[in-house]
Amino acid sequence: MSNSLARLLEIASAPGEPRQKDWSEIERTLGTKLPSDYKELIRVYGGSNWDDYLYVLEPGCPNRNYDLIDWTEQQTEDLEGLWEFEEKPRELAAEGARVIPWATTDNGEFLYWLVLPGIDPEHWTVMVNEARGDRWEHFSVSCTQFLASSLDGDLQSNILSSSYPLSSHGFRQLGSA
């Protein structure tokens, strides 16, 4: 278990039955492997809402509104169209660089993995994009480290809501819509 997942378990106990996934099929569909800390996060918490604001996307989420595969397809298409008119963040300047969403918020911000050619998924970092805007932030941490550190106040984003995190944390697993 990663240190950041252990921190999350201190913030919110596991909801019950672990969620089992066919990661090889999911990764085949996405065309890339995913970080092991994310797989562990999904196994323990599944698709989830944190502090009534941040939604962790899950492949095959019981609530289809938060399905990782659907959002990846949609965001890839949307961003390709957007970057015909707006400049890409400098972190995406390398040929073959891309982002894959792993979380979203009530306000429409997206949290992405920064996927760079030749970089193992275990070393992917986090990019945050403002809703309906062109501001981006880059954090040199894994997705679970971002989540744990943002909840306990060690990491702060200038894009995410100033109301996040709550002083008393809330967690709920996403079920059927």
Lowest-pLDDT range, 70-74, 86-90, 138-142?
86-90
pLDDT at residue 16, rounded to an integer? 76
Note the helical H segments in the chain. Answer: 3-11, 23-30, 36-45, 68-82, 143-151
Q: Report residue 1's pLDDT band, with 50, 70 and 90 as the boundaries.
A: low
pLDDT at residue 176, rounded to an integer? 63
102: pLDDT strictly greater than 80: yes
Q: How many C-beta atoms surround the C-beta of residue 26 within 10 A?
A: 18
Q: How many C-beta atoms surround the C-beta of residue 168 within 10 A?
A: 6
87: pLDDT strictly greater than 90: no
Compute φ and ψ for 127, nearest 5 degrees: -120, 140
Using a pLDDT cut of 70, give the percent of the chain over it.
Answer: 98
Give the class (CATH, top level) of 3-173: alpha beta
State how far the alpha carbon of 114 is from the alpha carbons of 90, 102, 122, 125, in Å. 11, 11, 11, 5
Q: How many C-beta atoms surround the C-beta of residue 41 within 10 A?
A: 24
Chain-wide mean pLDDT for the chain?
Answer: 93
pLDDT at residue 37, rounded to an integer? 96
pLDDT at residue 177, rounded to an integer? 59
- Which three-class secondary structure state does DSSP give residue 71? helix
Q: What is the mean pLDDT of residues 121-135?
A: 94
111: pLDDT strictly greater than 80: yes
Query: DSSP secondary-structure letter at 154?
Result: S
